[in-house]
Amino acid sequence: MEIREIRHGHLFCGLGGGAKGFNKAQPRVGNLQARFRCLGGIDVDPAAIRDFDRIVGVPGTVMDLFDRSQYIDFHGKEPPADWREATPADIRRAMGNESPHIWFLSAPCKGFSGLLNESRSKTAKYQALNRLTLRGIWLALEAYADDPAELIVFENVPRIANRGRHLLDQIGGLLRAYGYAVAETTHDCGEIGGLAQSRKRFLLVARHVEKVAPFLYEPEKKRLEAVGTVLGRMPMPGDLSCGPMHRVPSLQWKTWVRLAFVEAGSDWRSLNKLAVDDGQLRDFLLVPEYRAGYLGVNGWDEPAGTIAGRSTPSNGAFSVADPRFNQSARWNDGQAYGVRRWDEYTGTVAGQTGPGQGAFSVADPRRAGPTFGKYMVTRWDEAAGTVISGSTTGQGAFAVADPRSGLNRRQSGDNYLTGGHYGVLGWDQTSGAVSAAAGHDNGRWSVADPRMPEPNEKLQCVIRSLDGTWHRPFTTLELAALQSLIEPEEYLELDGLSDSDWRERIGNMVPPEAATAIAEMMGTTLLLAWSGETFVLSATPIWVRPVAMALSVQEAA
């Protein structure tokens, strides 16, 4: 077996999901076995590069790829004195002055995303961000004009095909000028990576026609998994052994309430089923912007949608109906004061077996038979039993149903009347003396507490929804597992302490398993080219059937 090295470089690399996936690929053709090696990655975010260093295992480079005009348009000010435009020479240095066989670019997509409205996408700021797509391609091409990469992969959101059409046309023209054949397509990262999320992406594939002759085939499609197959392998949210990335996010109170009313497998539209009075929801007010999948809750057995840079319950289906909510971990879990049916078996008899600690009561159908009257109550018009020396309520029928005990019969000075039994104090009142036997039924030991959370107050909650499950947001660690950055059983710590920053970097990355699938097919193509083959049968279609020949036959000049 002959090992052939395939070198890959990454622009706009983020935390390195794509690079990690490429490194895992191990395509084989005949006696040729490919081994992928990452040369490096470039990104403007220092925290992302620190993650890249750890995750990919090679040094990344912090570099701003804006030209001067783009910088000014994006930031609204002149760059600092020590800032300078990146050059092709900078790109080569970032790759260790080695030539990559494959370039992988995942340029910023905010300006093309459907989460950004049309008017904002046309502002100077986002147009400058969009132009990075063209500038990034040019820097990669010019840096290796004397030794061009065999394959170039450019991925982005599908909407770039519409909002960025003029840029894609320029990118295609630029690639052809440097000797590449170009094809555009879309794919679902979830399907090619076998993920528990559906993540549709745009892909532009370029093949250097002098270096690569064979067809480039599409990766094999796999079955989407259910979110429960991933999350079910992970500890419950909030488990301290998993670190801060597995904590339950703090959400606004109104968001928790809304999530509780969203049907599993649905989104905010299920709230329309609630009663509406005079144009307003009768139960609570719903006032946020509507986005695709807004306040969506995924069913446990459904794949998640695309994990975006801002993955919160209020802008997409980033919550899950989790059936694993262990209610017995809470004192008011539905088990306290539980009553067993007569024909059911009881649970484990523990050391604490009082009615308040579990289902340690039974609905006994056997009406009282002849007993010695323990805890019995004698009617007002009946004779009492024998009065014995231990005449207390626990020893027999030494209680009476006294019809005279109504409060309307009490007079001023009566101890029962003035004891405040079952009394409720106002929030602004003072309490009486706290006695040793203070209880709700023997004095004013209850209070009318007005402290419900404010609608915008952020807190962590467990709210059992109408379907009996806990509707909650995915934790950051769960998002990383759904993106295939880690296995569900693995531990992960990313740079920094901010959940929002972690989620943005996780959402922006290319899922490693999807990247591996792409790298496998590209590696196979390169091995075929290096072995002199120009054709191979495959069970998968040629990538982008309408322009398949562009990936196999050199275009006419």
Q: At what angle do helices 165-177 and 124-143 cross, to 10 degrees?
A: 10
Average pLDDT over residues 389-396: 64
pLDDT over 70 (residue 415)? no
Q: Which position has the higher pLDDT, 351 or 113?
A: 113
Query: What residues contact 557, with CB distance under 8 A and at least 6 apart?
Result: none
pLDDT over 50 (residue 289)? no
The whole-number pLDDT of residue 148 equals 97
pLDDT tens across 90-135, in order? Answer: 999 999 999 999 999 999 888 888 777 788 888 999 899 999 999 9
- CA–CA distance, 147 with 150 (Å, rounded to integer): 9
Residue with tokens 């925290």: 47
Q: How does residue 374 score in pLDDT terms, banded at 50, 70 and 90?
A: low
Q: How does residue 323 score in pLDDT terms, banded at 50, 70 and 90?
A: confident
The whole-number pLDDT of residue 311 equals 77
Q: Which position has the higher pLDDT, 490 or 544?
A: 490
Q: Which position has the higher pLDDT, 1 or 19?
A: 19
pLDDT over 90 (residue 352)? no
The whole-number pLDDT of residue 552 equals 44
Percent above pLDDT 70 for the chain: 80
- CA–CA distance, 44 with 48 (Å, rounded to integer): 8
Residue with tokens 């990469």: 149
Shortest CA distance to 214 belongs to which of 549, 517, 557?
A: 549
pLDDT tens across 179-208, in order? Answer: 999 989 888 999 999 999 999 999 999 999
The whole-number pLDDT of residue 288 equals 40
Tokens standing for residue 369: 């038979």
Pick the CATH number of 2-227+497-551 from 3.30.310.10, 3.40.50.150, 3.40.50.1820, 3.40.50.300: 3.40.50.150
pLDDT tens across 22-67, in order? Answer: 999 999 988 999 999 999 999 999 999 999 999 999 999 999 999 9
The whole-number pLDDT of residue 549 equals 39
pLDDT tens across 501-556, in order? Answer: 999 999 999 999 999 999 999 999 999 889 887 555 555 555 533 333 334 434 43
pLDDT over 90 (residue 274)? no
The one-character DSSP state at 365 is -
Taking the domains of the chain in order of start, what are their residue ranges? 2-227+497-551, 230-327+458-481
Residue with tokens 């075929």: 528
